[in-house]
Amino acid sequence: MLTRIIILSLIITAVHVTTWDGMIFHRPAEWIGEWLDRWHLGVMRKPLWECNICMGGIWTLFLDPVLFGWSWWVLVDMLCVIGLNTLIAALISRINE
């Protein structure tokens, strides 16, 4: 279970980091963000790519069954991934200071 949580958290962090300014998915993230804004769904930016902690919930619900098969443990995995992403976000923030 710990391995699953680490794998999910690292994938989510990778998606988050690759949408930063100058990274490979920055431009597509901007385009999608503009599209979401046009449809008044700009609030979806955070859980999709802007907030590593917020991403933990949505991305775990999608990735966990795809990578590991469906089980009720997905809810526990989601909470643990959110917790681990909180620690990772704090480390990234500390490094960027």
Sketch the domain layout of the chain as residue ranges: 2-96
3-state secondary structure of 33: helix
SS3 73: coil
CA 82 to chain centre: 9
How far, in Å, are 3, 26, 59, 77, 83 from residue 74 at the CA level?
Answer: 13, 29, 11, 5, 14
Residue 69: the pLDDT is 93
Between the CA of residue 71 and those of 7, 61, 63, what are the distances in Å?
A: 17, 11, 12
pLDDT for the residue numbered 81? 98
- The pLDDT profile of the chain, 97 residues, written as one tens digit per residue, is 999 999 999 999 999 999 999 999 999 999 999 999 999 999 999 999 999 999 999 999 999 999 999 999 999 999 999 999 999 999 999 998 8
First to last CA, the chain: 33
